[in-house]
Structure 1
Amino acid sequence: MNRWEDIVEVPLPLPFALKEIKAYLFMGGNGVTIVDTGLNIEQDFTVWESVMKELGITWKDVEKIVLTHYHPDHYGLAGRIQQLAGGIPVYISQVDFQQAQLFWDRDSKMAQDLASAFRRHGLDESVVKQIPKHLASFIPWIEPHPTPTFLRAGSKIQLGDRTYKVIHTPGHADGHLSFYDPEREWLIGGDFLLPRITPNISMWPNCDKNPLQSYLKTLEKMASLPVKRVFSSHGPIFENYQERIEQIRHHHESRLKHMQDFVETAGRVSATEVCDHIFGKDLSIHNIRFALSETLAHLEYLRNNQQIEVESAGKRYFYVPFRQ
């Protein structure tokens, strides 16, 4: 268990490709604050109880939970911990709480909408049929949903004994929030900026229609912020903030050019064909979902910038070179 002054790093295991999420515990005179929670699985809950025992605290010492965004590995245990801690506030952006319901409510039509979208973009029907069951498998990992208190960008929030600025950092999630301590120049970044991998930027039904544009604007906005240390959710805490922003910008520029060149060379391709070209075909259903959604985010960025076009043929969509 690593600690930086008042911040305790809490690594939590994940039963999918990322393997681990870093949650953070902020120690304060009036109690502790949890930022992100892990999944509602016994492995993660056991880690939390072990950490609390080591620190000499209980659930009753937790004064609030703050969530960077709605994805299950960040959101999953929030409702359970809220109940154990006596109904403490759970802070999240309104957009991301709505998207948690959009994705993970048992009555949601997201699985059907996503399956339909993937079918239109050329995904094989044998894989499309796996989407509803795959999405439903996450629901037990996030229930019960917490009762939220909505947090606005531009406001301030206490984490432990220090005041942080709330910054909207969309792209990875539409309502993603990061938290900035201007005195120490420390950033609690969630999945906005990661040290070793690029954050997944995906286009989902009924969400941001140009998430890559949103993310690139976030990088541009955040580049001017003086940051000495980033507490991210996956990978080690890091200090090469500006360098990492430039690396990720370059990654997306390169990926966009690669996709545009592929469309122009092929002449007419589905998003699935582009995805196969970039990511390969030997992917799990979990990774197919993210790979194809990220491919769509890049293709739609190119389309919105009039670098490629989309055309329909029956119920299928294809990307073609831009016609002057």
Structure 2
Amino acid sequence: MNRWDDIYEVSLPLPFALKAIKSYVIRGSNGFTLIDTGLSYWQAHEAWEKARQEIGFDWTDVEKIVLTHYHPDHYGMAGMLQERCQAPVLMTETDYNQAALFFGRESDQPDRMARFYGEHGLPEEWTKQIPAHLRGFTKWVEPHPEPTFIQAGETIQLGDYSYEILHTPGHADGHVSFYDPARRLLIGGDFLLPKITPNISLWPECDPNPLDSYLTTLDKMKPLAVDRVFPSHGPVFEHYRERIQELMKHHGERLAEMKEWVTRKPLTATEVCFRIFGKNLSVHNLRFALSETLAHLEYLRQNGQIRRERKSGHWIYLT
């Protein structure tokens, strides 16, 4: 376990490709704050218990639980920990509503997602797997928390320091990061990662142009004076502006590549996806790969660089 003054890093295992999420525990005069929670499954429960003992606090010492966004590796254990700690869960209203959209037992979003992918050329052998796959996350996010809503522009006390709440969308519509201007540190969730590219995905009923939102976020955040970033995946890092530049360059190259392909030959999003990521994908990875491909294609289309047409029941992208 790593520690930076009042901030402790807690690595929580995940049962899929990312392998782990980094949560943070912040020590303060009035107790402890938890930033993101991991999935609610036994290995993560054990990791939290081990971390609690190593840091040296009781669950009743937790004064608040704060979430950067609704994705299950961040949100999943929030309800269970709220019951255990009797502490408020703070998150944005946008992401609480999206948690209900994706993981509510009565939601038809899994079926909508399957139809959405089918319209973009995904064969039935894949689309028929989507609803059950998405509903499989339900067990990892229950019970849902009863949240207190926070929003960008406010400040929040994390430990003994005051942080600015910054809206950093793209990866998730309501994603927030927490900035301490006095110490020039950023708790960034999945907004900015040191080694991997945050997934930027297009989903039904969500931001219709998430890549535009993300690139706008990168541009907006670049001037911020940040000496250290605490990310949700990968080690704490200091090359803040350089990493923003790398990600902007990456997306620019990916956009140019896709535009060239659909200029040469009209393609479905699935065909573009398989060119980039290959076909040897699990249903979990395929879902993210295709949604990220769609985010790039829709960015190009909505910025007038390409267009799309309906053909044989599928959307085709072309120039």
**TM-score tier after normalising by the smaller chain length:** over 0.9
AA of the residue aligned to 1:307: Q
Structure 1 residue 315: deviation in Å? 2.3
Structure 1 stretches of 5 or more lacking a match? Answer: none
Question: What corresponds to 2:269 in structure 1?
Answer: 271
Letter in 2 for 1:308: I
Q: Which runs of 4+ in 1 moved over 3 A?
A: none
Q: Between the two proteins, what is the percent identity of the paired residues?
A: 59
After TM superposition, the structure 1 stretch with the greater mean CA deviation from structure 2, 311-320 or 241-250, is 311-320
User: Aligned residue for 1:50?
Assistant: 50
> How far apart, CA to CA, are the structure 1 residues paired with 2:53 and 2:239?
34
Equivalent residue number for residue 317 of structure 1: 315
Aligned amino acid, residue 320 of structure 1: L
- Mapped partners of 2:55, 2:10: distance in 1: 12
Task: Establish whether residue 300 from structure 1 lines up as the match of residue 263 from structure 2.
Answer: no
Superposition map of 1:56-71 within 5 A? 56-71=56-71
Q: Find the counterpart in structure 2 of residue 172 from structure 1.
A: 171
Q: Which residue identity does 1:253 align to in structure 2? A: G
Please report the TM-score for the alignment, with normalisation by the length of structure 2. Answer: 0.99
1:132 maps to which residue? 131
Q: Are positions 1:195 and 2:194 aligned together?
A: yes
Matches within 5 A, 1:210-289: 210-266=209-265, 268-289=266-287
> What is the match of residue 114 of structure 2?
115
Partner of 1:148: 147
The superposition leaves residues 269-288 of structure 1 with CA deviations (integer Å, 9 ceiling, x where unpaired) of 10000001111111000000
Give the distance between the partners of 2:177 and 2:54, measured in 1 at CA: 28
SS at match of 2:162: strand
Q: CA deviation at 1:52?
A: 1.1
Task: Find the aligned partners of 1:174 and 1:283 in 2 and give their Cα distance.
Answer: 26
TM, length-normalised to structure 1: 0.98
Please list the CA deviations of residues 105-139 of structure 1 after superposition, one character each: whole Å capped at 9, or x if unmatched. Answer: 01111111100010000001010000001001110
Residue type of the alignment partner of 1:15: P
Tell me the alpha carbon deviations over residues 75-108 of structure 1, each in whole angstroms, 9 at most, x when there is no partner. Answer: 000000000012x110001100000000000111
Offset of residue 159 of structure 1: 0.7
- Write the deviation string for residues 217-259 of structure 1: whole angstroms up to 9, x where unpaired: 0000000100000000000000000000000000000000000
- The CA distance in 2 between the partners of 1:56 and 1:245, in whole Å, is 36
Give SS of 1:303's match: helix
Determine the structure 2 residue equivalent to 1:21.
21
For the pair 1:11 / 2:5, whether they are aligned, the reply is no
Unaligned runs of 5+ in 2: none
SS at match of 1:174: coil
CA deviations on 1:192-234 (whole Å, 9 max, x unpaired) are 0000010000000000000000000000000010000000000
- For the aligned residue pairs, the C-alpha RMSD in angstroms reads 0.6
Q: Cα deviation per residue 1:35-87 (whole Å; 9 max; x = unaligned)?
A: 0000001111111111111222111000000000000000000000000012x
